[in-house]
Amino acid sequence: MREKVGATAGQIWDLLKKKGEVNMAELPRLLKEKSTVVYQAIGWLARENKIEYRTAATKTFVSLAESEKIL
């Protein structure tokens, strides 16, 4: 399971690199992955300070942290 979560974290990073900001609720559909795996991967990226969150109304968006955008 750890490998799947890590691989999904990489997919999320790649997606955010391409798209910029994404609604968190859309990530499982965009990645064609179970939401439990996606949210664990988001936690992984957050723990490593690779993403940032923004809330607007009832939606939460994620994007790459500034330090990740230059890579």
In the chain, what are the domains? 2-69 (1.10.10.10)
Residue 13 near residue 50 (C-beta atoms within 8 A): yes
pLDDT in tens, the chain (71 residues): 889 999 999 999 999 999 999 999 999 999 999 999 999 999 999 999 999 999 999 999 999 999 898 76
Residue 51 pairs with which residues in a beta bridge? 64
DSSP readout, the chain?
-HHHHHHHHHHHHHHHHHHS-EEGGGHHHHHT--HHHHHHHHHHHHHTT-EEEEEETTEEEEEE-HHHHT-
C-beta atoms surrounding 70 within 10 Å = 6
What is the structure's pLDDT at 71? 60
Token pair of 12, please? 């999320």
pLDDT of residue 48: 95
pLDDT of amino acid 64: 96
